[in-house]
Amino acid sequence: MAIDIVPRRAWGARAPRGGYTQLDSTRGVKVHYTGGRVDPGVVGDHDLCVSLVQSIQRHHMDGNGWMDIGYSFVACPHRKVFEGRGLHRLPAANGSGLNSGHYAVLGLVGNAGLVQPPDGVLHAVLDAIEHLRERGGAGREIKGHRDGYSTDCPGEPLYAWVRRGAPRPGDGDGDGDGTEAPPFPGRVLRYPPVTRGEDVRTWQRQMRARGWEIAVDGAYGGASRDVCRRFQRQQGVEDDGVVGPVTWRLAWEAPGTPEAAGTPEAADAPEGPEAPLT
């Protein structure tokens, strides 16, 4: 699949303050996360991705005093790649003295909310990396921001993927079977009160197929809510015990095994005294 780039003009980027520093080539790419909470709703609403990228640029320019967004490209859950500083331009997000060695690619996940990177984010990160190699003079290295800089970035789930060699989802690395979720039923499943119906039964059946101990009785009560919460923690989304559009989709499409809960990470500080993005 060819890279799906969202040009700066398409996401409403502000003009940079001044000129970029030329970057002929790098050793590779460093992968980042936002360092703040990312609304899980971005998975189902691309407009939220656009708004988030705009807020990141605003934070970098108005909060940090940088001349532009600090990243070379930004990868969103819809396998779209936002143009940041772009090709052959020095990034700012890797840390003082470290920007000339690697391009900077941000995956739209954070330390709360959406923590576990969806397949679309991973694909988009790799699409950006391949683009940087083909047209930007990037070398073969793929590292996390924390490699060479004191930070928790890019968060434990994304960094674990980098440490595995940044495999493509579906390339035999155990990151899911490619099953597509059925359409969301149009109402959330919650308790209390008990929610009943075939949509509940469908979700319960899928959770049992994933290996969870759950009754398939069409009644979403306390036991179903507890399974939901544990599953949400495993997937790195808010553990509210409510099956909404994101949790519904993850039941079919997410990797993972029962009881393997994800752990949120601390906030990122890309360069100097930057505050976490909120």
Mean pLDDT of 45-67: 98
Q: Is the pLDDT of residue 46 over 80?
A: yes
What percent of the chain is predicted at pLDDT more than 90?
76
Q: Is the pLDDT of residue 48 over 70?
A: yes
Please write the tens of the pLDDT for every residue from 2-19.
Answer: 799 999 999 999 999 999
What percent of the chain is predicted at pLDDT more than 70?
88
At the topology level of CATH, where does 195-253 sit?
Muramoyl-pentapeptide Carboxypeptidase; domain 1 (1.10.101)
- Report how far residue 200's alpha carbon sits from residue 116's, in angstroms, rounded to the nearest whole number: 24
CATH code: domain 5-163 is: 3.40.80.10
Please write the tens of the pLDDT for every residue from 160-205.
Answer: 999 989 998 875 433 344 567 889 999 999 999 999 999 999 999 9
Distance of CA 51 to the CA centre of its chain: 15
0.85 cut: is pTM over it? no
Contacts of 54 (CB under 8 A, 6+ apart): 11, 12, 13
Helix count and strand count (H, E) for the chain: 7, 10
Could you tell me the pLDDT band of residue 233, with boundaries at 50, 70 and 90? confident
Q: Is the pLDDT of residue 68 over 90?
A: yes
Where do the domains of the chain lie? 5-163, 195-253
Mean pLDDT of 61-69: 98
DSSP track, 91-136: -STT-TT-TTTEEEEEES--SEES-SPPHHHHHHHHHHHHHHHHHS
